[in-house]
């Protein structure tokens, strides 16, 4: 969909926007009350936004009472609005659409994914005026499956993956057979097939030509073989709360592994065996990671990008692109960062389906 969404500058309101209209004299208590009654209902929330005490602007007992009442009403109204937005997030029709990252040789990567991992090339588009090419690959059509969006920028043949990105997960019916195929095609196997530590699931790890890691998980037939994106975070509980409230994901499971000093949490929009999920990993004592410049973002479908951006802001996330249509194609999106700086782009569901047409 979109390879890189530029960050939008943060716009902060100024005190000059807090204007109190009217020509009433402030010489009597009645005038104070009229001013408080007619104007403070809108001014108080803005003053509170700046952390200013209203008594600095208005003095007198009657005004303080009116300000207090207006402030309490405003707080109650704001709290209700917040609850409504977060409740809407839970009921929004959301789905992980695709994961975007950069590669140094598009044809080489396409060849590896199709021949070794069994993916299909779904579509490819070249944007010469912006000097990049996209390729979409996966195990089924984009309107129903989670897929990969590769980005090749003209003349750039290498990227830094960094330490924050972990791996992608792919469910296969026979891990050993897949590993043999990867080896035959010249791929790199970094962990031979075998049971996961402390469990029974057979896994293996391989690397693609750019060094991205893939975890192969042995499972029966599944509607979503491209099943995981693993990212490392600095505070797991903080991330879980954010992904649940702002992104509307469900915490599917959480597992602590003290022997190896890490904890993981699986979050998503449905069971792991039928949907793609986020695997967030916390390594004991590590609060920040170098993200490099290779991995880009996750795209998630939503019914309303405007309310989505509102929810992200309410939950402490940073909106880097305010909601609205993209130039040229009119698809409405909004882009944001989670508490660790991982980027997500939310895409209007109806617009996304029109774009696929």
Catalytic residues: 215
CA-to-CA distance for 100 and 102, rounded, in angstroms? 7
Beta-strand relationship, 250-257 and 226-232: unpaired
Residue 71, beta-bridge partner list: none
Q: What is the chain's percent helix, strand, coil content, to nearest 5? A: 30, 30, 35
Rg for the chain, CA atoms, rounded: 25
Indicate the SS3 state at residue 231. strand
- b/e code 276-305 from CB counts within 10 Å (16+ = b): bbbbbbbbeeeeebebeebbbbbbbbbebb
157 contacts: CB under 8 Å, gap ≥ 6: 104, 105
C-alpha 90 chain-centroid distance: 15
Task: Output the DSSP codes for 80-128.
Answer: HHHHHHHHHHHHS--EEEEEEEE-S-HHHHHHHHHHHS--EEEEEEEEG
CA-to-CA distance for 263 and 163, rounded, in angstroms? 17
CA-to-CA distance for 299 and 321, rounded, in angstroms? 14
CA-to-CA distance for 94 and 91, rounded, in angstroms? 9
Report the run of H or E that residue 214 belongs to, with start and end: strand 213-218
Report the run of H or E that residue 178 belongs to, with start and end: helix 175-184
Give the DSSP letter of residue 137. E
List the one residue out of 7, 66, 27, 19 whose CA is nearest residue 43: 19
């Amino acid at each position: 969909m979109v390879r890189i969404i530029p960050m939008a500058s943060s716009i902060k309101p100024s005190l000059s926007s807090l204007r109190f209209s009217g020509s009433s004299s402030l010489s009597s208590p009645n005038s104070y009350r009229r001013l408080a009654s007619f104007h403070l209902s809108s001014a108080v929330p803005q003053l509170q936004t700046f952390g200013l005490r209203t008594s600095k602007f208005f003095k007198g007992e009657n005004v303080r009472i009116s300000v207090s009442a207006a402030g309490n009403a405003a707080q109650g109204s704001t709290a209700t609005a917040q609850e409504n937005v977060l409740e809407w997030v839970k009921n929004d029709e959301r789905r992980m659409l695709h994961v975007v990252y950069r590669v140094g040789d598009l044809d080489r990567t396409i060849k590896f994914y199709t021949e070794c991992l069994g993916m299909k090339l779904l579509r490819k588009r070249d944007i010469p005026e912006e000097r990049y090419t996209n390729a979409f690959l996966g195990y089924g059509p984009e309107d129903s499956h989670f897929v990969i969006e590769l980005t090749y920028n003209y003349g750039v043949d290498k990227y830094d993956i960094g330490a924050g990105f972990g791996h992608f997960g792919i469910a296969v019916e026979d891990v050993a057979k897949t590993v043999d195929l990867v080896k035959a095609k010249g791929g790199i196997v970094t962990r031979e097939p075998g049971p996961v530590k402390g469990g029974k699931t057979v896994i293996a790890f391989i690397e693609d030509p750019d060094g991205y890691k893939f975890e192969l998980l042995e499972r029966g037939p599944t509607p979503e073989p491209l099943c995981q994106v693993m990212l490392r975070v600095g505070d797991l509980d903080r991330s879980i709360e954010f992904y649940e409230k702002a992104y509307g994901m469900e915490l599917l499971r959480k597992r602590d592994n003290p022997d190896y000093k890490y904890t993981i949490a699986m979050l998503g929009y449905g069971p792991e065996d039928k949907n793609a999920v986020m695997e967030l990993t916390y390594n004991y004592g590590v609060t920040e990671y170098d993200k490099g410049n290779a991995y880009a973002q996750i795209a998630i479908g939503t019914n309303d990008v405007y309310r989505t951006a509102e929810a992200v802001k309410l939950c402490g996330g940073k909106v880097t692109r305010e909601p609205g249509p993209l130039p040229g194609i009119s698809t409405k999106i909004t882009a944001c960062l989670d508490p660790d700086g991982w980027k997500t782009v939310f895409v209007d569901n109806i617009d996304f389906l029109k774009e696929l047409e």
